[in-house]
Each structure stands twice: as C-alpha cells, then as structure tokens.
Structure 1
Amino acid sequence: MNKRNFIVTGASLAAATVLTTGCTTTGGASSSPAERRQAIDSSADAALTRLYREAPGSQEIIAASQGTLVFPAVVSAGFIIGGSHGQGAMRKAGKTTGYYRMTEASLGLLGGAQSQALFISFMTEAALNSFLNSRGWTVGVDGTITFLSVGANARVTTQTVQQPIVGFVLTNGGLMANISINGNRITQLDL
C-alpha cells in the first residue's frame, strides 16, 4: 500500500470511528427526549461523583460556580483527520438547566482514540452570561479555560477560583496523541 492510500484509508477509518462512537454515547435516535435527558443527567451525576473523588477541592469549585457544564464522555478519535463529540448538561446549584453538545473536527498530526469527562465551571456571572447568550460557544475563542490537574497531588488554590472559567478533564479510557479541547464548539440541544 502506498503512502497516499495509507493516509486516505486511515483518515476514513478515523472519521467512521468518530461518527459511530459519537452515536453510541448519545442514546439511540429512537429515544424520546425525556429518555435522552434522563440518560445525560444520570451520566453527569456519575461523572461528578468521580470528579469529587479524584480531584480534591473540585466539589468546592463546582459549588462556588455560577454554572458548570458536565460532559461525561467526550469521545475523540482520528488519524490525520479527526474529531470529537459529546453531550452534557449545564448544572446550576445541583440542578440541570439545559443540555448541550460539544463537537470538533481537526486536521493535523494526531492519532488514536480517547474518551474524556469534561467539566467547565463558569466562576463569574459575566462568563456564564457570555456563554448562555452565544449561539454556539467555541473553547479558546469565546472563552479561555484554566484547566486544573487531576491526580494524587492535585489541589485547588484560592487563585484558581478567581479565574472566570475553570475546567477539569478526567480520562475515561483510550490513548490519543496531541489531544486538546481548544476549538471545540458547544451548542445547546433541543431536548
């Protein structure tokens, strides 16, 4: 197989993987909106429980935020051409106030597949309003997120909560070279 065929075949497989994996994490298309909301809420609850267990201080940040987007499974895959997809919920004071989709397409030196839980906390009313008033919000363009490490030595400091937008990423599984969420677009789901 020549180099061009190898690249085209790899890119096609990566795109197919993203599409099929993204579809399997969202519930079936035949699911009712109520079933989809319930599935997203249940997954968000489980992801938050895991975050609180693995990242000391994260529960305090979520509680202090004006609102937190919880994406329990953002699936990324690709080989040269790739993408990511996930669905989640906006939580305010422990209650879901809306449902959202995160998507990205990318081209470049990347390879592999990975699933991550992603949490984006809006610490100021201005940051939250900017997000809520957008007709599609792009990470790194419409808002810069200060990401916190999750691990045995992760600690939240007083400087952390002074940032307008704070995020956590937990790896669910897989290995992806050159993973980044900059450029991911977040739009509201009509559920």
Structure 2
Amino acid sequence: MTRRSMIVMGGAGFALAACGNGIGTNGGPTIDARVDETRNYLFNRYPGTRELAGKAYGVLYMPLVTEAGFGIGGAFGRGSLRINDATVDYYSAAKATIGFQIGAQQYAHALFFMTQDALTEFRRSPGWAAGADLKYATPEQGASLGKDTTEISPVIALVFGQSGLIAGATLSGTKYTRIIP
C-alpha cells in the first residue's frame, strides 16, 4: 500500500463519516431539535441518566456522530452543551483513527461534566481533546449511572444508539470544538 493510497482512503473515510450527519444544514434550531430528541431517548431508555444529568454541571449532547474507516478513518458530529437544560454553546466532534479497521457506523453520545472545574476547562479551551479525565460507560450501565455519583470521574461519556458495523483495532482521538451554527 502506498502513501498516496493511504491518503485517499483516509479522505474517503472522512468523507463517508461526514455523509448523513447534516454538515452544512445544522443551524442552531436543527441541532437543538436533534438534541431534544436524543436527550428524551436517553432519559426514557436509561432512566438513571436523568438523575445523572440533574447532578452534572453541564451535558454535551452529540445526537448523531457518523464514523467510517478503511485503514484510516474518521468521525464527525455536531451537538450542543446544555447547562440547566438550556443550550449555552454548540460544538463539533471530530475523530481521526488509524489502524486495522473497516466499516461505518452512526451513534449518539453524551458527555456529563460532573465537576465545575471539568466544565470550565472544557468551555475555556479552544479545542478540547477527550483524555484521561473521561470515563466511558456502556448503555447497560445507563439505568444505574445516576446512583454512583459519589465515585464518578470528572467527565463521563455515554455512547448509545449505535447502528452500522465497524470492526478493528485502532488508535484514535476525539476533539471537541466550539462552533457557530
């Protein structure tokens, strides 16, 4: 495999990731409507998340993230940060991956900021990369997440609503950037 073919495949992966998530059509009202639907789905499907959101200083909802990869891949989505259930900012999430992978998927995720410091750091940064402060939870934990708030990490990520299939082992990073829709 040549370097040129790797670049072409990476570009194709990112282009596929951008398809179907409404790039260019996501004004503030559209993002907010999708966030409302996502939040309602999350609370109804995983009741413990309602309590978790109530204890969080802020929640970033990403209603639709599209990911694709073939060797090199990427993902992209847009969402909004809510404090006291009111939108205060809009964000994009961009993810790059490299490694053995093939496929495409779509999913939603929410970041629960459990401390004021974590929320402040997120909002002040020009681009926040998910790192060591992030604890991932599975949808099965969603029913009981709100009960464990005394042992919680500063930021909890819950990925849910997956569709599609992607397989492999990759190195990746996700960067969240404030946007103006």
State how far apart, in whole Å, the 2-side matches of 1:70 and 1:111 are.
26
Query: Please, which of 134, 138, 143 is the counterpart of residue 149 of structure 1?
Result: 138
Which has the higher mean CA deviation after the structures are superposed, 119-128 or 17-26? 17-26
Structure 2 counterpart of 1:22, one-letter code: A
Match of 1:91 in 2: 82
Cα offsets for 1:117-166 (capped at 9, x unmatched)? 010010110000111111100001xx521122213884223246632111
How does 1:81-160 map onto structure 2 within 5 Å?
81-140=72-131, 144-151=133-140, 154-156=143-145, 157-159=147-149
Unmatched segments (≥5 aa) in structure 2: none
Match of 1:8 in 2: 5
Structure 1 or 2: more strand by fraction: 2
Query: Please, which of 173, 177, 180 is the counterpart of residue 187 of structure 1?
Result: 177
How much identity, in percent, do the aligned residues show?
Answer: 28
Query: Please, which of 147, 156, 177 is the counterpart of residue 167 of structure 2?
Result: 177
Corresponding pairs, count: 179
State how far apart, in whole Å, the 2-side matches of 1:153 and 1:47 are.
14
Unmatched segments (≥5 aa) in structure 1: none
Q: TM-score, normalised by structure 2?
A: 0.86
Query: Please, which of 68, 76, 97 is the counterpart of residue 77 of structure 1?
Result: 68
| Higher Rg | 1
State how far apart, in whole Å, the 2-side matches of 1:41 and 1:139 are.
23
| CA RMSD, 1 decimal | 2.7
Alignment of 1:164 with 2:161, yes or no, is no
Match of 1:22 in 2: 18
Contact map agreement 2:105 2:164 (CA 8 A) in 1: yes
